[in-house]
Structure 1
């Protein structure tokens, strides 16, 4: 590790590798990027020991995408990063408007790692994923028979 003070953590979701006899680890800038993705996709209260950790973006999922909602979305991200990611300095949060009619908002986060002064950009797609492996006949077979 070139910059051990930037941290080292498990990959998420955790993956195990027989060659290294354990969990794959992320280090330095990739650990920070992974931490940001986890922060943005976690609901507050979801972590038992850290109830304030998270961003609560899911509560805005079906709201209309007007200026007020975009401002609220950016503010939630800025606040979460400010309180829960001390290794970086947030420079900019940009919400793309290219796919907003398709229900996709692309969040671009520009940040600077405080200790190395390196700049990075994280692009986080914000949308509801469809269930693609849904088997309706198997689901109907699981329903109780009321006859």
Structure 2
């Protein structure tokens, strides 16, 4: 065995959204760290209760879309994000979560620092949570 760490335990899964290729008649797949990164995005973008067979899967952020981005709401959003990742992504350890509101553009950037279990490699994921829906409407 070479010096490369065996990362096969991280798994392989479909890319999201699923992308099918005619050239080789298959679906694009993600492996190892890319699969973990994609999984985090899926967890954060899925509303709790949205998956029929997994009613607890997801992160219940949608009720905060029109709420003011004050300290208590940001703290609650960070708590919800951390609990969702701890519960649904066992391949990572969430080290820290920090949020930066951009009131002018209606975005709360949620910066997640995490490491992958066993490899102890540190990563960063920034999730743009939009505070205002339908922001492309002319004023």
**TM-score exceeds 0.5:** yes
Q: Which has the larger radius of gyration?
A: 1
Question: Deviations along 1:15-52, whole A, 9 cap, x unmatched?
Answer: 00123321100011111111000000101111011000
The 2-side partners of 1:130 and 1:27 are apart by 34
Higher relative contact order (CA 8 A, sep 6+): 2
Instruction: Supply the RMSD in Å over aligned alpha carbons.
Output: 1.8
- Secondary structure of the residue aligned to 1:47 is coil
Between structures 1 and 2, the one with greater strand share: 2
User: Which ranges of 4 or more aligned residues in structure 1 deviate by more than 6 Å?
Assistant: none
In structure 1, list runs of 5 or more residues that go unmatched.
135-147
Q: Report what 2:75 is aligned to.
A: 71
- Secondary structure of the residue aligned to 1:96 is strand
Between structures 1 and 2, the one with greater helix share: 1
Question: CA offset at residue 100 of structure 1?
Answer: 2.6
In structure 2, list runs of 5 or more residues that go unmatched.
1-5
For normalisation by structure 1, the TM-score amounts to: 0.84
Tell me the matched-pair count.
Answer: 132
Q: Report what 1:125 is aligned to.
A: 128
